[in-house]
Structure 1
């Protein structure tokens, strides 16, 4: 760039095409440091590119010419010879150490050649030391960064570093693996997008202002919350989310670190224990009902039958007595069903053919009344091992699940009953294509007596599913529920093979 085109207050270092072709006079103090500056890549961060073209007037310390970095370079007796032989030299560094020669040297230099004498070269030597210190600091910083990153990458939780706008600045390896994308693709995205557990649903709404991130940003203190989400498979997930403000040198919040921990397994165990306790209350209530309610029902039924045989009743009175008898019989059936489900342990379990139980449930319901347009499909794997269970309780459980699946259909659809192997266990599953459950319903589906509009026509799983799970767990198995609104529900009874149990 020509001088007349240079902007006011320009710096040579800032020019894109600035580079120096260097010629060195003498080998006095600072010679080796100047070589370090020219040949050290670390100095490139502080100075424009520099190449060494030639040497002149080596003086009494010619042994320095043995340095491998100057081996093969032309050496001239005078700097004038060097400049004539290398007209591309635009920076001359004088290390002869004779001040009386400086003025004469400067006076004879071509206009395009800059000049640094041996006293000013001190600053270049100082720059070399600074670059060396900077390199060591950078190495230490890199080592610390690698160590911190290694520690964070080994943490199984999601860790995100966010700016004040909630955009991702950095994430640990767990986040990248869960999202199936390299870290670079996640940087700059909003946190609610990166934390998503489903492709079709961000982790939270962008306008949410009561999440831990915003709380930490407002208060300058650690914040946390318990979050629940539904996975793409329809499974209910539980998360504990923490947010930690990070302060800059002036005391302001520059970033917020968010850590999200999946506590699904722990929370499910806690909820299972709580619900087991609730079912225990139901069992005691059932025992009370068996003793305190069933006997009066027998008395009511007996006296009602006697009244029906009386010749003194009018036809209208006889019809009323008949209704009393029918309603008493309904109460007795409900009581028997409740007692049967609430005390599965009272019946001795044995080895049961799970596939036959599933087939029987489908055949009974196919023979009955099915909603218009609803089909029942049966999928059974061959040669399934027998499971340890109480056959009648398992049969009632399957009938209960299939009935609820049919009631969950608002129109044409499919209820599929299947039996197969999964991870060494026998799995009986009932899947429907009905309305599915909301997240709130899915959270409470195992609570005794809970019903929801999304679970059948106003009936729901109620007491049944809670007691089914207790019975299955008494046999050494587990119950799994997966559901999404508009995508149906799947309830699975996972039972270990009979030979796997003592």
Structure 2
């Protein structure tokens, strides 16, 4: 019966012999480790050097005065801890204990208890380490930067959640890959050996920092700042890991560009005021005198030709001056609600004949929701005409220009797209600068003027261009204010 009971339980049942403090300590230890040592049960005890009735209430196990009495009441006991250290008692127990009960003497019990205490400390340290790791991982995963950790073999050891989401791969699949697969620019700043980053040859403690830009899948230019931190093993005296962090600074960079452009605009305004005062009056006088001289019959043909050049150039300069002054002045006017489809259709109708003469197909794609924008209808139409003319001038051999309207979240937009040669990446940041132009006879006020008008109406302008594929310029406007 006892054998079947032991086989069924699959655990050791312990009896203990010792003073109250020893029994209490062992009980507390097993109670703390109950989930981990569920195959060990302390079932009864025998008090020594103390009366049973005085201490029995302290324990939640039966306490006996004699070992024989305990063994008779608990035949399931398979192990007896003798913790008094009395050698005569140990000798007696060896004689009376059944063969199936193991006797654990005081030295072995002390070793067991110390081992359990060390194990408890190890578990506490392990739990603390796991909690620290989880906290660190959670913090790193919440960062909006892309973070890679590269091991001493030049392969990816780990990455944060932001990077894996960006790549669209599980972190487990990213580990072990060559970081150059994702970040080719690392080859320009890190030592490379056989197509792999030579981590160990990196300079200890030297932080590498760089900026670069690249196009996304939609052709938009994004700006990034890269930080490369070498992690050193002081004992080995070499770099063992790299932490690579990529931060998207597109929004900040564009904001800085807008600030610089605003400063340039202010400079242009001051220059225009000076030009208007110092040049316009003499220019008008020159043009007037040239016109009078052109009607003078006493001047020979060669003289008339030269005077004609003076007259035409004065007119051209006066036109440029008017455009500069127009650029500086506010274009706000009356801000009203207007139908984007109407203005897009009107602009296309005005430019259709000129496009046809140049072999360019002008398409119109109007949103069925009839989106309404807030601003100046005439100024927006003029902006569209300006964009269509820019697209025409970029396509010497014909092509397609598409004017479209639409709605996106809390904005409405008009887009002018072409399949022309596109704009080189190095020049895209310059096209909105006053007086910058790629045209032979251009004055560089077209796109800056459009940008200024849009911003005065609370809108914005965006440009996406791929070299060899074409350019799309979007005019984005707020919808009409909702009246409660």
Q: TM-score, normalised by structure 1?
A: 0.69
Partner of 2:171: 183
Per-residue deviation, 1:385: 4.8
Question: 1:385–1:210: structure 2 CA closer, same or farther, 3 Å change rule?
Answer: farther
Distance 1:208 1:464 in 2: 40
Q: Deviations over 1:251-306 (max 9, x none)?
A: 43221222222222222222111101101211222222223222222212211221
Distance 1:400 1:213 in 2: 53
Distance 1:347 1:27 in 2: 97
CA contact (8 A) 1:217 1:253 kept: yes
Distance 1:295 1:361 in 2: 35
Question: Number of matched residues?
Answer: 411
CA contact (8 A) 2:78 2:102 kept: no
- The answer to whether the aligner puts 1:344 opposite 2:344 as a matched pair is no
Partner of 2:462: 480
Partner of 1:299: 285
Residue pairs, 1:18-417, within 5 angstroms: 65-66=76-77, 132-164=120-152, 166-194=154-182, 202=184, 204=185, 206-209=187-190, 217-250=202-235, 251-345=237-331, 347-370=333-356, 374-382=360-368, 384-409=370-395, 411-417=397-403
Q: Deviations over 1:304-349 (max 9, x none)?
A: 2211221212233323323332232222222222322332347555
Per-residue deviation, 1:427: 0.6
Distance 2:446 2:435 in 1: 8
Per-residue deviation, 1:397: 2.1
Per-residue deviation, 1:367: 0.9
Structure 1 unmatched runs, 5+ = 1-21, 44-58, 69-75, 80-93, 99-117, 196-201
Aligned to 2:284, the other structure's residue is in SS state: helix
Q: Deviations over 1:162-199 (max 9, x none)?
A: 2245532111111112222211111122334335xxxx
Q: TM-score, normalised by structure 2?
A: 0.71
Per-residue deviation, 1:429: 1.1
Distance 2:198 2:475 in 1: 39
Question: 1:178–1:284: structure 2 CA closer, same or farther, 3 Å change rule?
Answer: same
Question: 1:469–1:244: structure 2 CA closer, same or farther, 3 Å change rule?
Answer: same
Distance 1:64 1:303 in 2: 132
Residue pairs, 1:420-459, within 5 angstroms: 420-452=406-438
Aligned to 1:344, the other structure's residue is in SS state: coil
Partner of 1:490: 472
Distance 2:138 2:225 in 1: 23
CA contact (8 A) 1:410 1:435 kept: no
Structure 2 unmatched runs, 5+ = 1-9, 18-25, 38-66, 80-96
CA contact (8 A) 1:279 1:466 kept: no
